[in-house]
Amino acid sequence: MTQDQVTLSTAQATRLVDRQFPDFAGRQVRPVASSGTDNWLFRLGSEHVLRFPRRPSAVGLLRREAEWLPHLTDLPLQIPSYVAMGDPDEGYPWPWAVLDWIPGDRAELSVLDNPAQAATDLAGFARAMRDMPSQAGPIAGSANHNRGVPLERLNDVTVESIGQLGDLFDTREMLMVWEAALNTPSWTGPPVWLHGDLNTGNLLARDGQLAAVIDFGLMARGDPAADLTPAWLLFERPEREVFLRESGLDDASLMRGMGWALYAGVVALAYYRHSNRPLARMTHRAIAEVLGDMLV
């Protein structure tokens, strides 16, 4: 078995906790259902969650999050807190993490009492990230899956993915949107903090309200338009308009944001359309929303 084929059982996770963290020994460990692609999740008792990378590329994301998440302070939505980092053992080859458990449901429109308020709240979170001091911190690039780099660096993979989805969408329309985004002026300000993956799987709702943002493995400093993707991944057009207006970014950034949403949609759908149905549904919808906005 190669390292990118590693498996992990509940019994293994339990032994890892018991061996490395005596204070948590004996607490119940149980899997968390997730459509995520980078980590296995296990509840640890009632107050904590374990995150185990599924593949080598996720290890760097876990380390990035552990290093830089403490620098993100005074944000308007709850974010995770790291408790401890575990070491490879028991046949599991990589570092792993213990974090505080944040209760909530996946923040889909069906669980939000007031989607327009959620749009305002999420835009405020993205603004707060952008306004944080950014003299230090990783710059967007291959290490964070290119979230926040200039769009032209993503052209080849985007065009290739568009070509694989011609049975689902009009290829010419997708290319028209992508070319419009590429022809939009690039971000000329300093690189700013961004989350990098504001999809519904990383947003939590409680009591009908948007409450928390999780999974910061792709955070970096770069083009803030990359954090506009939930406009199309999550919201309908009325709430999308609220989110984009409250983001406080200029028209060029909004157009690049549409390009980011198309990129995220076509790349993920082309890769996961048969293997991850929840992700495929979300990205299929995002592409349809982007095309609908462009053709209005």
The 10s digit of each residue's pLDDT in 90-117 is 899 999 999 999 999 999 999 999 999 9
Residues of the chain with CATH 3.90.1200.10: 105-294
Alpha-carbon gap, residue 119 to 107, rounded angstroms: 11
Q: Give the pLDDT of residue 133.
A: 86
pTM of the model: 0.94
Domain at 3-100, CATH homologous superfamily? Phosphorylase Kinase; domain 1 (3.30.200.20)
The reported pLDDT for the residue numbered 1 is 38
Listed residue (43, 49, 120) closest to 81, CA to CA: 49
Kindly report, as residue ranges, where domains of CATH 3.30.200.20 are found in the chain.
3-100
A 10 A CB-CB count for 228 gives: 28
CA atoms within 13 A on the CB side of 242: 15
* Residue 220 dihedral angles phi and psi, to the nearest 5°: -170, -175
What does the pLDDT read at residue 294?
82
111/98 Cα distance (integer angstroms) = 28
Query: What is the C-alpha separation between 156 and 6, in angstroms, rounded?
Result: 30
Query: What confidence score (pLDDT) does residue 33 get?
Result: 83
CATH number for the domain whose boundaries are 105-294: 3.90.1200.10
Pull the structure tokens for residue 141: 């690039």
Residue 54 contacts residue 5 (beta carbons within 8 Å): no
Name residue 192's beta-bridge partners.
Answer: 222
Which residues of the chain register pLDDT less than 70?
1-5, 35-36, 296
Q: Are 90 and 19 in contact (CB under 8 A)?
A: yes
CA distances (Å), origin 181, targets 159, 178, 251, 279: 13, 5, 11, 24
pLDDT score at 242? 98
Structure tokens at 196: 């990098």
Q: What is the model's pLDDT at position 34?
A: 74
State pLDDT tens for residues 54-93: 999 999 999 999 999 999 989 999 999 999 999 999 899 9
Q: Which residue bears the tokens 């995770």?
A: 80
Res 278: pLDDT: 87
- Minimal CA–CA distance to 147: which of 200, 197, 216? 197
Looking at the DSSP bridge assignments, the partners of residue 39 are 53
Residue 35 confidence (pLDDT): 57
Alpha helices in the chain (DSSP H): 10-20, 56-68, 115-131, 155-163, 171-182, 230-233, 237-247, 251-272, 277-294
Residue 127 CA to residue 227 CA, distance in Å, equals: 10
